[in-house]
Chains A and B, each alone.
Chain A
Amino acid sequence: MAMKHTRYQFAKRPLALVIAAHNEEMVLAATISSAINAGMHPGDIYVVNDSSTDRTQAIAEKHLGARNVLAVHRSGKAKAILQAIGHFQIIKRYYWMHIADADGVFAPDYFQVLRRHLNLKYAAATGHIQSLKGGWISKYRLYEYTVGLEIMRPIQAFFGVIPVIPGPTSVYRTDILPKLDFTAGTLTEDMDITFQIHRQKLGKIKFVHDARTYTQDPRDFGDYYKQILRWYRGNFQVMLRHKIGLRAQRLDAYVSYVMLEQALLISQLLLLPLAAWWLGNYNLIAIPFLFDVVFFFAFTVWAAVLNRRPDVLGAFPLFYALRMVNLYAFVKAWFEIVVLRKFQSAPSAWSVAGRRYRIVADGIIN
């Protein structure tokens, strides 16, 4: 005990890694090992065990020692992290705190690259995410992550409108942590916290393109649909909570643009077939469809080449099904949250049952 207090009196260390875990025995050991291999000292890694009923606690203690593991009553990810911040005195002892999910894998140079870019003029930072190898859903996610992080993210970073610091790669300057509300009760707490940084003008968010993490995706369609619906519901909750569109911030302009884009696409899908039938001109459907196939395929080829993942191309036609599902989930979530005002709070929803699977050695291709 005395030793613990002595250690805390030293100067602040640069970076702490806090992993929130609830029944993560399948993946936690691999995630901790990956963090250590990627340059984190085990003494700076902390696990907050959110009332797991499996071997999560034992695995965490085996890798990090009991003093770096905190067991809490069922709290949900955000509240569990909050308790870890207090218990491990993260704000007092560190300049930066990295939050990670328990199912992530870090590239071997992840923390080295990240540390190089962490500058106290930024409020937060986020790295690059890519899918671990998997089935057709992981292949689609690889496409989405590539377009999102190679094209959209640099633009968002340039204009200062990064809308979400995603769970697997989120770094916060510790002095801003007391100003953030981790108990907002939304389904996408990472997005909510990012919006708080924008709204309170706490500082810029740095995008570190070369700091790469890998994450698991849903393995079957049911899990995919649940995840995407939860994300969209959370997005609309956060947008309502932060009154997006009613303030004169760049974030409002960007998020409004994204919503408008989605609304236009849905309108096209619904109205074009009707217009083609009404006017007897089926070019109205054929031309947009052909353009879509050409550009969508070209971007998929680009994503496959960039990530050295030719297997992604094989599942290309199935991506159309997932795009349609995304649009359906978007409309459903909008109707539930914005029109019906359902799910206005989401206490400690954190289920990973059926979602995790063991991380295999060749999960990362490059």
Chain B
Amino acid sequence: MYGYGNATGLVLGTGTGVVAATTLPVTGTNWVVDLALAAAAGLAVWAMVYVLNTKLNKR
């Protein structure tokens, strides 16, 4: 089944990435590194939501 949490993870992860890329530049000058950090942050949030959702579904 296509779990609700999967879509939530994708949305939240992408959102985190976009926010990180646009408002929180780490280097301020190197957009490539900022984009990579944003992608990593988005993936991390997405992964956490997926794991949490899986654990909640098991209950």
Contacts and interface: CB of A to CB of B under 8 A. Distances in A.
Q: A and B: partners? A: yes
Interface of A: 135-136, 282-283, 285-287, 289-290, 293, 310-311, 313-318, 320-321
Interface of B: 1-3, 5-7, 9-10, 13, 27, 30, 32-33, 35-37, 39-40, 43-44, 46-47, 50-51, 54
Contact of A290 (B3, B39, B51, B54): B39
Contacts, number: 58
A282 B43 CA distance: 19
B33 A320 contact: no
The DSSP consensus for interface residues of chain A is helix
14 contacts: A135-B54, A282-B30, A286-B30, A286-B32, A286-B33, A289-B36, A289-B40, A290-B39, A293-B43, A310-B2, A311-B2, A311-B6, A314-B7, A314-B50
Given A289-B39, A314-B10, A316-B46, A282 B33 contact: yes
B interface majority secondary structure: helix
A287 B39 CA distance: 12
A314 B30 contact: no
A17 B54 CA distance: 38
Contacts of A310: 2
Given A136-B50, A293-B43, A318-B47, A313 B6 contact: yes
A283 B33 contact: yes
Given A311-B6, A314-B3, A317-B43, 13 more contacts: A136-B54, A283-B30, A283-B32, A285-B36, A286-B35, A287-B36, A290-B36, A293-B43, A311-B2, A311-B3, A317-B13, A317-B46, A318-B50
